[in-house]
Amino acid sequence: MKVGYARVSTNEQDAQAQRGFLLSVGVDEGRIYSDVGFTGKNAQREGLRQALAAVREGDTLVVPKMDRLARNVEDTLQIVRELTERGVIFQMGQTVYDPHDPWSKLFLTFLAAIAEAEGGWISLRTQEGMARPSVRKKLKGRQPSIPPETDAAIAKALDEGVQSAADLARVFRISRSGVYRAAARHRAMVEQ
């Protein structure tokens, strides 16, 4: 029996291509385990834990690519070693790992090292990008849930003393602190 594992790092990514590959190599839909929103550095992944628990002696664990399993050599080799000790076959892509073949061990270690380096390069590129002011300026964080026109109305009502912050919070269905933040956003925008 084949068991598959797929992983995507963010909720915006789609695991369909990985699932499609796993189905094409004979993994049943119900035997595909996945994680969404976890990096390969995080070893505490529920989908991976379930996939490892699902395989028995003689079964095959299939991953589409090496970096989907783990992002460093140590974790990769540990997982594959544990699978081998349990009599589970490991398949990465179309390649079946043979623990008795030194070339297979070398190839696995080499691919794991590339996956680890790739993770490091991604991190470096991200850090370099974040160091540029033009990139930081685009990162605005979480946007307010109310529009600027509402901010203006709240600020005006507070300034004129027409309604209390508690009353405005009920009317606009936001918290009292949200009322004060809305007024502060409007004032900051006017001062610009």
Is 128's pLDDT higher than 90? no
pLDDT, residue 12, reads 60
**Is the distance from CB of 83 to CB of 55 less than 8 angstroms?**
yes
Do 33 and 84 share a domain, yes or no?
yes
**Is the distance from CB of 64 to CB of 7 less than 8 angstroms?**
no
**DSSP helix/strand/coil, 93:** coil
72-106 residue pLDDT tens: 888 888 999 999 999 999 999 998 998 888 888 88
Question: What share of the chain has pLDDT > 90, as a percent?
Answer: 34
Do 31 and 92 share a domain, yes or no?
yes
Residue 72 structural domain: 2-130
pLDDT, residue 58, reads 95
Do 49 and 104 share a domain, yes or no?
yes
136 occurs within a structural domain: no
- State mean pLDDT over 21-38: 90
Residue 164 annotated among the catalytic residues of the structure:
no
Do 176 and 115 share a domain, yes or no?
no
179 occurs within a structural domain: yes
DSSP class of residue 87? T
Q: Which position among 9, 24, 104, 145 bears the catalytic label? A: 9
Do 118 and 153 share a domain, yes or no?
no
**DSSP helix/strand/coil, 169:** helix
**Is the distance from CB of 25 to CB of 60 less than 8 angstroms?**
no
- State mean pLDDT over 136-154: 78
31-71 residue pLDDT tens: 999 988 765 555 578 899 999 999 999 999 999 988 888 87
Burial degree of 59 (CB within 10 A; 0-12, 13-18, 19+): middle
- Whether the model clears a pTM of 0.85, i.e. scores above it, the answer is no
Contacts of 136 (CB under 8 A, 6+ apart): 130
Element (H, E) at 117: helix 102-131
